Amino acid sequence: MPCKILEKERLIPGQTSKLVIDAPHIAKKAQPGNFVILRVCEKGERIPLTIADADPERGTITIVYLVMGKSTALLETLDAGDSILDLCGPLGKPTHIEKAGTVICVGGGTGIAAMHHIAKGHHKAGNHVVAVIGARSKDLLLFYDELSSFCPEVLVSTDDGSFGHKGLVTDLLRQRLETDKSVSEVVAVGPVPMMAAVAKTTEPFGVKTTVSLNSIMVDGIGMCGACRVSVGGETRFACVDGPEFDGHKVDFNELRQRLAAFKPQEKASYDHHCKCTCAGEK
């Protein structure tokens, strides 16, 4: 059943967009930490994207994506009023949320949007949520306003210092952990190197650290094992056992290598796409 795009916002033109999609059946069940698998068109690939927000009353879910290759480029060609051919969810185990005190939610790049839903969940559960977000520069910073609307603190770092702290999110995180002993959990969503760095930063403090893994997926319902990751020496399927795991136990190096499995094909697919669209076909 195709699902209609109600709103599209180009957050970073040509790079990152936000879609609000009419999907009451998913919105009704979506919890923080869940994702969807979608397919843009008949010949398209199934790709996973995190549910960045859900409005059960309006019957909508929000996704935010970074244009990486063929599938996200195809998605980017759609506009409000267009439909997504296949949309399946909510998938994955929801974030484990309980009232625990102070929770730091770290987000990097597009991961900020994905983290937003989790932060909101912690806020609703009565936790003091500190958002720590980072981007290369101010123009590339996502969801600052959305997070500011409910997080008592939003700490920002940029690589170039154009906004907030000049440096990395882990600098802010370390400072905070050194001074604030009330932090009960750190949640990190973002690029693999960032999540690995966050886990390394929190380890000496012994603070529970949850990361949301973005391994390659096919079905998203536990049938293929494409998404397998090593956690504490055990193989787990990110789509059904995760996507969130204990950051101190994840083998990030393996994840990084597995994410590169299809690099040559991805390039071929993207080039094919560019050739076709330039030639006027679609």
Ligand X SMILES: Cc1cc2nc3c(=O)[nH]c(=O)nc-3n(C[C@H](O)[C@H](O)[C@H](O)COP(=O)(O)OP(=O)(O)OC[C@H]3O[C@@H](n4cnc5c(N)ncnc54)[C@H](O)[C@@H]3O)c2cc1C
Q: Single out the residue of 32, 33, 48, 90 in contact with other proteins (rule: CB under 8 A).
A: 90
Nearest 5°: phi and psi at 246? -70, 110
Q: Single out the residue of 144, 150, 205, 270 in contact with ligand X (rule: CB under 6 A).
A: 270
**In the range 232-251, which residues lie near ligand FES by CB under 6 A?**
237, 239
- Nearest residue to ligand X by CB is 69
Structural tokens at position 239: 């789509």
Q: Binding string to ligand X for residues 64 to 103, with x set by CB under 6 A, is what? A: xxx-xxxxx-------------------------------
**In the range 42-81, which residues lie near other proteins by CB under 8 A?**
43-46, 70-71, 74
Cα–Cα distances in angstroms (integers) from residue 208 to residues 58, 177, 205, in the given order: 35, 12, 9
Which residues are registered as beta bridge partners of 155?
132
* Dihedral (Cα; 90, 111, 98, 240), 10-degree rounding: 40
The CB-of-3 to other proteins minimum distance in angstroms stands at: 9
∠ CA(121), CA(184), CA(50), 5° rounding? 35
**In the range 191-230, which residues lie near ligand X by CB under 6 A?**
214-217, 221
The CB-of-255 to other proteins minimum distance in angstroms stands at: 9
The CB-of-281 to ligand X minimum distance in angstroms stands at: 18
Q: Choose the stretch contacting other proteins; rule: CB under 8 A; options: 113-121, 143-151, 162-170, 227-235.
A: 227-235
**In the range 230-249, which residues lie near other proteins by CB under 8 A?**
230, 235, 237, 240
Task: Using the CB atoms, write b or e for 73-83: b if 16+ within 10 Å.
Answer: bbbbebeeeee
Verify binding: residue 105, ligand FES, rule CB under 6 A: no
3-state helix, strand, coil in the chain (%, to 5): 30, 30, 35
Q: Single out the residue of 78, 85, 125, 226 in contact with ligand FES (rule: CB under 6 A).
A: 226
The one of ligand X, ligand FES, other proteins, none whose footprint includes residue 134, by CB under 5 to 8 A per kind, is none
State how far Cα 171 lies from the chain centre.
21
**What residues have CB less than 8 Å from 274, skipping those under 6 apart?**
none
Candidates 76, 127, 78; CA nearest to 100 is: 127
How far apart CA 15 and CA 101 sit, in angstroms, is 36
**Which positions lie near ligand X, rule CB under 6 A?**
35, 45, 47-50, 64-66, 68-72, 110, 114, 214-217, 221, 243, 259, 263, 266, 270
Q: Interface residues with ligand FES (CB under 6 A)?
A: 217-220, 222-227, 237, 239
